[in-house]
A and B are shown apart, each in its own frame.
Chain A
Amino acid sequence: MTGQEKKGRWVTAAMLTPSAIWFLLLLVLPLIVVAVFSFGERAPHGGYSPAFTFEQYANLPSRLKAFQNTLIIAPLGTFLCLLVAYPLAYFLAVKVHEKWRLLLLVLVIVPFWTSLLIRTYAWIFILGGKGLPALFEMIGIDDLRLINTPGAVVIGIVYGYLPLMVFPVFVSLEKLDKKLLEASNDLGGSPFRTFLQITLPLSIPGMATGCMLVFILLMGEFLIPAFLGGGKVFFVGNALVDLFLQSRNWAFGSAVATSLVIIMLVVVTVYMRLMMRASAHRDDVSIL
């Protein structure tokens, strides 16, 4: 090894050190601490006292409702996001003139990077007593309750995470070889059949990425149920805020957090496996 190479190695190591320390102290260590705490006990005045017990995990059913809500509403919200996002992504990738494509795409993404807090707050305004329900009253529909219902939470979810779904679906549709569509057309395939047999299968990777991103973020959602669920529709995130900041039961809270991460990991792994199998299967078909 020459002196120059040796020096280069030191420089590389020095450049990686700060981020390595950061990952270690603020990601790896905290996650380990939470896992360890989940086997502990609540200290008399809140917080954590060391122990080794499975009590916290045995106690999980007391928060069953939060897990149920999350595991029903998060996939539902993800699916609705996809339903709303797909036609828009298709429009942007295939139909729109190239001149406008970038601008329109940026307009979809921009809201995602602005405060979710403020955007969700807007819906308290719209769905609350003097918003949409007041409008409906004018046309004779009385006593419409929108806010603090599962429906309100789902609307908030679709609104909040739609941009995140549009982008990956758009990318996969844009990459799609337009010649395939022409070929299908030339061979007498109807537009609907072309879509069903070519466009849709080829955009599966984009849909899978989008669904995974949205689903993972939804599993940890706190703000949307807090604002639009009004204490009636709550997620695991709301239970966690309660356990760590109000009742200060860190041991049980850690068990809930650990379970959430484990459920996420399992769902994501199974999902990726399924997607890989699906795309491998599709490759066989395309070879035939």
Chain B
Amino acid sequence: MRLYALIVYLFLYIPIGIIVLFSFNSGRHASEFIGFSVKWYGKALKNPFVIEALTTSLIIALSAAFLSSIMGTAAALALQRVRGPIKVLFDGLIYISIMVPGIVIGIATLVALVTVFDIVNPFIESFWATAADAPKLSLGFASVIAAHTLFTMSLVIVIVRARIAGMDRSLIEASADLYASPWGTFRQITLPQLFPAILAGFLLSFTFSFDDFIISFFVAGSNTTLPVYVFSSIRRGITPEVNAIGSMVLAVSLTLLIFAQVLLQRGRKRS
């Protein structure tokens, strides 16, 4: 049994290890390990396309994480006070947004946004003297952020709701008994208790958005996120530079994940 578990863990981690190992390969060819070197990291970080894609990914992931933490927390708090058809409707929408595959979300967002833009753009143009000067809505940062936030917001709602369910109610009641205003109770009692869950939701949202390929592939327009860049470079051929980028991406998500896990576990223990 132990041996079996060991084999499964090796199966899970050896491929990741190989990518990291080969990112330190000094040779020009990806598949033969010649010697240890960090030159591919230097090369990747000097590549303007990589830097641009990385910046795009960071902006998108940060925005999606902020938006979904705020809207998700608000919705989770409000949903505990709602009953009946509205609650059923929201539960259904949360469930669907988590379950519908990313590829369908990507396609549907692409098709819907392009259609909306085709209707709205001539309308905007009519307000400008010359059509060429008019601002044009098009796919880009905003559409990726919006599409990622759909999934990550639902994720935050699920995480924060779980935390609310495990929260110590007596403190809230005590606060109300002591004549605290609802807002005061929220700020001083509820929010501090929920904070680890909200932060964990933020980190998981960031990780999801930063790692997502398929949704960005459809709705990023002319912008390129890091996973989209990596995908097209892999299509051109495997290089040690891709391994270096991949290792950095893994390092970012691993760090955030461990942090998120610690927060979630601490919250669970306290309740």
Check if A57 is an interface residue, CB within 8 A of chain B: no
* A125 x B238 contact (CB < 8 A): yes
Does any Cβ of B come within 8 Å of A246's Cβ? no
The number of chain A residues touching the other chain, given as a range, is: 35 or more
- Tell me whether B230 is interfacial, beta carbon within 8 Å: yes
The answer to whether the Cβ of A61 comes within 8 Å of any Cβ in the partner chain is no
Whether, in the assembled complex, A16 has its beta carbon less than 8 Å from a beta carbon of chain B, the answer is yes
A245–B106 Cα distance when bound, in Å, is 11
B104 contact from A16, A18, A22, A220, Cβ within 8 A: A220
Tell me which of A84-92, A177-185, A195-203, A279-287 binds B: A84-92
CB distance from A118 to the nearest CB of B (A): 4
Contacts of B77 in A (CB 8 A): 15
B103 A220 Cβ-Cβ under 8 A: yes
In the bound complex, residues from chain A placing their C-beta under 8 Å from that of B100 are: 27, 31, 261
Select one of B103, B115, B227 contacting A222, CB under 8 A: B103
Please give, as numbers and ranges, the residues of chain A lying within 8 Å of B217 by CB-CB distance.
241, 245
Contact B78 A23 (CB under 8 A): no
A84-B8, A88-B4, A125-B238 as given contacts; A29 in contact with B112, CB under 8 Å: yes
- Cα A283 to Cα B234 in complex, Å, equals 52
Question: In the complex, A287 Cα to B207 Cα: how many Å?
Answer: 46
Q: Can you list 23 pairs linking A and B with CB atoms under 8 Å apart?
A: A16-B79, A26-B150, A87-B4, A87-B5, A92-B5, A107-B9, A111-B13, A114-B249, A115-B227, A117-B227, A117-B230, A117-B231, A118-B249, A121-B238, A125-B22, A162-B8, A216-B101, A220-B102, A221-B101, A237-B214, A257-B104, A261-B104, A264-B101
Q: What is the 8 Å Cβ interface bit string for chain A, positions 219-237, against chain B (1 contact, 0 not)?
A: 1111100010000000001
With a cutoff of 8 Å between Cβ atoms, the chain B residues found around residue A104 in the complex are 5
Contact B112 A115 (CB under 8 A): no
Do B31 and A130 touch (CB < 8 A)?
yes
Which residue among A119, A122, A131 has the maximum number of chain B CB atoms within 10 Å of its CB? Answer: A122
Interface centre among B110, B112, B218, B253 (most CB of A within 10 A): B112
Q: Please tell me if B19 contacts chain A, counting CB pairs below 8 Å.
A: yes
Judge whether A27 and B74 touch: CB under 8 Å: no
The 3 closest A-B CB pairs, nearest first, are A220-B101, A30-B108, A122-B15
CA distance A118 to B32 in the complex (A): 19
**How many B residues touch A, CB cutoff 8 Å?**
78
Instruction: Say yes or no: A253 contacts B107, CB within 8 Å.
Output: yes
* B contact set with A: CB distance below 8 Å: 1-2, 4-5, 8-9, 11-13, 15-16, 18-19, 22, 30-32, 70-72, 74-75, 77-79, 81-82, 86, 90, 93, 96-97, 99-105, 107-115, 146-147, 149-150, 153, 157, 182, 204, 207-208, 211, 213-214, 217-218, 227, 230-231, 234, 238, 242, 246, 249-250, 253-254, 257-258, 261, 265
Interface string of A70-98 (1 = CB under 8 A from B): 00000000000000100110011001000
What is the distance, in angstroms, from A38's C-beta to the closest C-beta of chain B?
A: 10
Given contacts A22-B71, A222-B214, 12 further A-B contacts (CB under 8 A): A18-B70, A22-B150, A23-B97, A27-B150, A114-B253, A119-B15, A159-B12, A162-B12, A220-B102, A244-B111, A245-B217, A257-B107
Which A residues are in CB contact (< 8 Å) with B254?
A: 110, 114
CA distance A8 to B4 in the complex (A): 55
Residues in B neighbouring A125, C-beta threshold 8 A: 15, 18-19, 22, 30-31, 238
Interface of A with B (CB < 8 Å)?
8, 11-13, 15-16, 18-20, 22-23, 25-31, 33-34, 37, 47-48, 84, 87-88, 91-92, 95, 102, 104, 106-108, 110-111, 113-119, 121-126, 128-131, 159, 162-163, 216-217, 219-223, 227, 237, 240-241, 244-245, 250, 253-254, 257, 260-261, 264
CA distance A253 to B107 in the complex (A): 9
Chain B contacts of A115 at CB under 8 A?
211, 213, 227, 246, 249-250, 253
**In chain A, what residue has the closest Cβ to B148?**
A26
How far apart are A162's CB and chain B's nearest CB, in angstroms?
A: 7
CA distance A254 to B22 in the complex (A): 41
| Known interface pairs A19-B75, A84-B8; A118-B19 also in contact (CB < 8 Å) | yes
Of A118, A159, A221, A222, chain B has the most CB atoms within 10 Å of the CB of A118
Q: What chain A residues lie within 8 Å of B157 (beta carbons)?
A: 19
Question: Are B4 and A19 neighbours in the complex by a CB distance under 8 Å?
Answer: no
